[in-house]
């Protein structure tokens, strides 16, 4: 970790009088764990701060310390002199929380996405770390704050979810050492894994069923399309199909998966998953999105069938290209 950047972050926090902390829209465990860990750190530093994310906190992450203090909207007229974004690959991922601000705070960008565009005034971006939470586990003590049980719970949530329980490529001895220290600080690994990773909403499992039924596999690409109709047949509320992409990418002979989710406003969200040696970050970036080598995503607008056809053609071409390069 670049100590000059660490010192800049520390100075900015010490000097700030009102801080806004945010994370990416559609937040996952790393996003919310990192957000609430920074909140607890700022509390320990005696700072004034607000935490906000357009989409709020998923019910399953209610156990996170300070979860109930995460707002969906910020007062546009409130003056923040510092903003800290965690787990955001670019400025748009911060959603309205950032775009509707009328003040212009100094922006600190703390992230681990390979596609991160260094949008902050101060950027702590380390792409070979498996979670933003792991980065924060190293950063927080350098701010003079001891990692207590609450912070450890938040950070462990980020680590467990982004590593799928410490089993993805990129998990190192260092990752497990950091996790071990969090357990020593009071994080309950088994309980966090159960709440954040294992237990599912009934509606999510129902939509997995639809997704598996409607899956296609061609040319090493597995994909499934979840239309608005499919979701509405299960519930009037939005249904998360998170986890489906990992499931269908884990088929023998499949290099990558794509899950298309139709949204109410005509947006189509696409999640890509792969395993080494297959890279999906490049494809997602080409399509205007971003992410990691083995987990990335993007959004498209248009007729669902057209978007699916276009993206799957590109996906097949990408895998064919990578396959040819590997065989060369």
**Do 97 and 23 meet the contact criterion of CB atoms below 8 Å apart?**
no
Nearer to Mn ion, 87 or 230 (CB): 87
Site for Mn ion in 118-137 (CB under 5 A): 132
- Smallest separation, CB 296 to Mn ion (Å): 12
Per DSSP, the three-state class of 75 is: coil
- Smallest separation, CB 327 to Mn ion (Å): 32
Q: Which residues, at least 6 apart from 305, have a Cβ–Cβ distance to it below 8 Å?
A: none
User: Does the footprint of Mn ion cover residue 30 (CB under 5 A)?
Assistant: yes
- Smallest separation, CB 140 to Mn ion (Å): 16
Radius of gyration from C-alpha coordinates of the chain: 20
Nearer to Mn ion, 26 or 141 (CB): 26
φ, ψ at 72 (rounded to 5°)? -90, -25
| The one segment of 84-92, 210-218, 245-253, 314-322 that binds Mn ion by CB under 5 A | 84-92
- Smallest separation, CB 248 to Mn ion (Å): 21
Nearer to Mn ion, 30 or 90 (CB): 30
Beta bridge partners of 270: 260, 298
| HSE, side-chain direction, 13 A CA sphere, residue 190 | 0
- Smallest separation, CB 194 to Mn ion (Å): 20
- Smallest separation, CB 302 to Mn ion (Å): 28
User: Does the footprint of Mn ion cover residue 90 (CB under 5 A)?
Assistant: no
At residue 276's C-alpha, the angle toward residues 275 and 278, to 5°, is 80
| The one segment of 14-22, 66-74, 87-95, 307-315 that binds Mn ion by CB under 5 A | 87-95
Nearer to Mn ion, 132 or 193 (CB): 132
Beta bridge partners of 216: 223
**Do 58 and 27 meet the contact criterion of CB atoms below 8 Å apart?**
yes
| The one segment of 37-45, 161-169, 207-215, 228-236 that binds Mn ion by CB under 5 A | 161-169
User: Does the footprint of Mn ion cover residue 162 (CB under 5 A)?
Assistant: yes
Sign of CA dihedral 6, 118, 81, 136: negative
Q: Which two tokens stand for residue 89?
A: 């690959």
Binding site for Mn ion (CB under 5 A): 30, 87, 132, 162
């Amino acid at each position: 970790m670049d100590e000059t950047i660490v010192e800049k972050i520390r100075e900015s926090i010490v000097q700030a009088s009102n801080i806004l902390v945010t994370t990416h829209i559609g937040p996952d465990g790393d996003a919310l764990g990192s957000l609430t860990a920074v909140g607890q750190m700022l509390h320990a530093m005696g700072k004034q701060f607000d935490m906000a994310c357009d989409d709020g906190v998923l019910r399953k992450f209610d156990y996170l310390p300070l979860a109930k203090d995460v707002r969906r909207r910020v007062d546009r007229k409130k003056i923040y002199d510092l903003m800290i974004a965690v787990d955001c690959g670019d400025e748009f991922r911060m959603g309205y929380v950032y775009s509707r601000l009328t003040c212009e705070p100094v922006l600190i960008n703390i992230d681990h996405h390979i596609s991160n565009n260094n949008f902050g005034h101060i950027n702590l971006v380390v792409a070979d770390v498996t979670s933003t939470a792991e980065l924060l586990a190293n950063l927080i003590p350098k701010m003079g704050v001891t990692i207590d049980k609450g912070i450890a719970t938040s950070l462990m949530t980020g680590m467990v979810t982004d590593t799928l329980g410490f089993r993805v490529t990129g998990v190192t001895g260092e990752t497990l050492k950091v996790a071990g220290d969090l357990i020593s600080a009071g994080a309950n690994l088994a309980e966090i894994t159960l709440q954040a990773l294992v237990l599912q909403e009934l509606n999510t499992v129902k939509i997995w069923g639809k997704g598996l039924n409607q899956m296609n596999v061609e040319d090493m690409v597995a994909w499934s399309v979840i239309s608005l109709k499919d979701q509405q047949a299960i519930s009037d509320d939005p249904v998360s199909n998170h986890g489906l992409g990992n499931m269908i990418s884990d088929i023998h002979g499949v290099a990558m998966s794509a899950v298309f989710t139709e949204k109410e406003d005509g947006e189509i969200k696409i999640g890509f998953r792969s395993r080494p040696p297959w890279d999906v970050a490049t494809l997602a970036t080409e399509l205007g999105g971003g992410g990691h080598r083995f987990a990335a995503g993007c959004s498209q607008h248009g007729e669902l069938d057209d978007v699916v056809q276009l993206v799957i053609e590109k996906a097949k071409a990408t895998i064919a290209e990578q396959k040819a390069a590997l065989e060369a």
